[in-house]
Structure 1
């Protein structure tokens, strides 16, 4: 049951990572086009520059959940690397329960009014020629932290399985390989 849930969460997080990848590719094309237009044709666009920031925001914010799933997040590895897998699992579970999830919930709770206020007021860019509907990019904040909570559940399940010494069905343990 837990392995199926972990696999489902990992698939979901891979989709979030794919969205971040698409945002990166779109940002790359956008920056390339904007640079060509600006330096060769002396024509720039404030909307394109703002779109760069927006795409970078999506890339960064959605990439957080994917980085957690891939265990690519930042930590102090000086001590952590020397610990046994069970000790690492305890630290990961405790850190997720005591820090990651509560902070994510606070950010979600604190940013929803931010998005609502922007939507209700019809906020647009302060620059002439900028993008409208600013609430859309502001909505990335709570959405990305919802994704992070979902990814952190898969991360906790994985670490719980490590702590308990349980292996996914169909995998051969390191001890079995040695025999």
Structure 2
């Protein structure tokens, strides 16, 4: 039981740190977007690399923030039954859903994203625009980080579920409305 508790706390500490970094990146995205619009319309000039930088930042916020969002129960979902279930009922649903749906989905994504990243890295892919950002494999590599962070959060969710099923209801997932 102690190992499960340490697993949950370790993974969620990592995803909390990443979530805080992503929050700062969100501010950076807004500032870079503002700079892009300002230089384009106020200074009548255009920097392709700046436009691409804000798109990159926005993409990174989404993919790197997914595990934190999952951890904090921030995804929108329509549940008719889950919210009314007991903590043990929710634990069973979370455990089964993670094993049956999340983990196989992440396995498919890992294989697909690994090829996507590898091909980009081998080609040293850069922007198709002459003055765009180089090293697009970095952005594509973030997809693998997404898979890793969500996989870890799935492990934490399964560990939480097992803890709840063993009587530790303080580890229970809270329904989205409560």
- Which of 59, 66, 69 aligns to 1:67? It is 69
Question: 1:9·1:154 contact (CA, 8 Å) conserved in 2?
Answer: yes
Deviations 1:55-109 (A, max 9, x none): 1111000111001111112332222212222111111111111111111121011
Separation in 2, partners of 1:55, 1:11? 23
TM-score by length of 1: 0.88
Greater Rg over alpha carbons, structure? 1
Moved over 6 A (4+): none
Structure 2 residue runs of 5 or longer lacking an equivalent are: 172-178
Deviations 1:99-125 (A, max 9, x none): 111111210111111111111112111
Instruction: Tell whether 2:53 aligns with 1:51.
Output: yes
1:43–1:126 CA distance, 2 compared to 1 (3 A): same
Q: Superposition RMSD on alpha carbons, in Å?
A: 1.6
Deviates more, 1:73-82 or 1:105-114: 73-82
What is the total number of aligned residue pairs between the two structures? Answer: 169
SS of match in other structure, 2:84: coil
TM-score by length of 2: 0.89
Q: What is aligned with 1:144?
A: 146
Q: What is aligned with 1:103?
A: 105
Separation in 1, partners of 2:164, 2:35? 47
